[in-house]
Amino acid sequence: MNLKNLSDQVLLEKTSELAYRERSTLIELLHHLREIERRRLFCTLKYQSLHDYMMKHLKYSDDEAVRRISAMRLLKELPAEEVARVEEKISEGELTLTNLSMAQTLFNHERKAGRALDAEDKAEFLRKIENQTTREAQKTAQSVSPEFRAKKKLGFSDIEDDLLREKLLRIKGQYAHKHPDMDLMQLLHLLCDHELAPVAQRVRKNTTKAKAENKAGTKNKTEAKNKTATKAKAEIEIKAEVKTKAGAETMSETKKAQNNDRPSASNSRADTKTPAGISDPADREVPLEIVVLAESSPQSQVPSSTQPQSKAQIKRNIWSRDNHQCTNCGSTYAIQEDHHFPKAAGGEYTEANMRLLCRNCNQRAAIEFYGMPKMSDYLRPF
């Protein structure tokens, strides 16, 4: 392409026209991306998400993909008449992709803070940031939400350690059903809470145990004290009795009396000691019968192969076989069990008929089986 012979005027006009066409193409692109997302078509190409598809298939950078997806979702949430106006502003260059993406980040921020903006508020904000530079638009955003930081929050893609990022994304995926759209900070909070909960529980348990032990210790001490006092009293009484006897009887009689007493005392000691030794609770607690019964229980003697597999066993086998990830795209996000042959059409819960799919691939499979018109009411919006 040789532009050297173009006049200055024509060169400027041509460039303006190309910039306009580029922005118009952008709008067209956003519409196409929206429809691809609605159909979950990226799943048929085995991509885990629209973002994954845009980076690997369409060759956008991470930031470029994020800005386009944000703008596309923002347009999707606006009323039709507002969409037409915003698209015109994009074509004219009065609303930039960067500002649109920032606006969507603000709207999400407010929604998560429980102050979701309605369609009118959103439209008003977009009017305010028309023709503003990125810096000016950030200030406008802070006038809506003072704590909103235009500075990009630390996200999963900022983690340079690939293995750590993969681990965190995997955990995020496991929580996807319960906590959808969890960001990195929310996930770290959840992990900390999870890690600290047993510690707090242990501290509570130890405090309760220490209190109980203190109480028991005081009780035992009092009992021991009472026992010692009783024993001492008894010894004094015996000594006094012996002394009285010794005074009254001769030495031989005393010896005889002692000899007569000895077997009795010895028997008494043996009577006390032997049964105590046998009946020691620690000795009795050996649960031999229970162990034998457990080993010879009729249930455990039946070979497992003759028993039909329980649903829980089938479930364990499926998750283990598919390595807890989507069998189509390999994602570990929002994993679900899927009937190859749908349940509604008579498909059974067997290892052969079941597979793991991520939510997107599962929805795409349903679209392919039932068709988009039938499925559109059931699909979770992005």
Binding site for Zn ion (CB under 5 A): 326, 328-329, 331, 358, 361
Quote the least distance from Cβ 204 to Zn ion, whole Å: 42
Closer to Zn ion by CB, 148 or 369: give it. 369
- In terms of C-beta density within 10 A (0-12 exposed, 13-18 middle, 19 or more buried), how is residue 53 classed? buried
First to last CA, the chain: 42
Q: For the chain, where are the E strands, in sequence order?
A: 335-339, 354-358
Closer to Zn ion by CB, 106 or 326: give it. 326
Closer to Zn ion by CB, 73 or 355: give it. 355
Quote the least distance from Cβ 46 to Zn ion, whole Å: 8
Closer to Zn ion by CB, 65 or 329: give it. 329
Quote the least distance from Cβ 364 to Zn ion, whole Å: 8
Quote the least distance from Cβ 343 to Zn ion, whole Å: 19
Quote the least distance from Cβ 146 to Zn ion, whole Å: 40
Integer Cα distance of 97 and 90 in angstroms: 8
Structure tokens at 149: 């930081």
Q: Which of 111, 115, 138, 112 lies closest to 125 in space, CA to CA?
A: 138
Residues 104 and 98: beta-carbon distance below 8 Å:
no
Residues 77 and 108: beta-carbon distance below 8 Å:
no
Give the distance, in angstroms, between the CA of residue 259 and the centroid of all CA atoms in the same chain: 79
Question: Half-sphere exposure of residue 66, counting CA atoms within 13 Å on the CB side?
Answer: 14
Integer Cα distance of 379 and 366 in angstroms: 10
Structure tokens at 150: 């235009």
Handedness of CA 77, 79, 80, 81 (dihedral sign): negative
Closer to Zn ion by CB, 129 or 334: give it. 334
Quote the least distance from Cβ 312 to Zn ion, whole Å: 24
Give the position of tokens 């596309």.
Answer: 72
Closer to Zn ion by CB, 177 or 227: give it. 177
Closer to Zn ion by CB, 138 or 328: give it. 328
Closer to Zn ion by CB, 318 or 358: give it. 358
Give the position of tokens 């990195």.
Answer: 184
Question: Which residues lie closer than 8 Å to 360 by C-beta, 6 or more apart?
Answer: 40, 42, 43, 48, 49, 329, 331, 334
Question: Which residues lie closer than 8 Å to 55 by C-beta, 6 or more apart?
Answer: 61, 62, 65
Q: Calculate the alpha carbon distances from 167 to 162, 327, 356 in Å.
A: 9, 18, 19
Closer to Zn ion by CB, 184 or 334: give it. 334
Quote the least distance from Cβ 362 to Zn ion, whole Å: 8
Quote the least distance from Cβ 358 to Zn ion, whole Å: 3
Structure tokens at 292: 């034998």
Give the position of tokens 């532009």.
Answer: 3
Quote the least distance from Cβ 123 to Zn ion, whole Å: 36
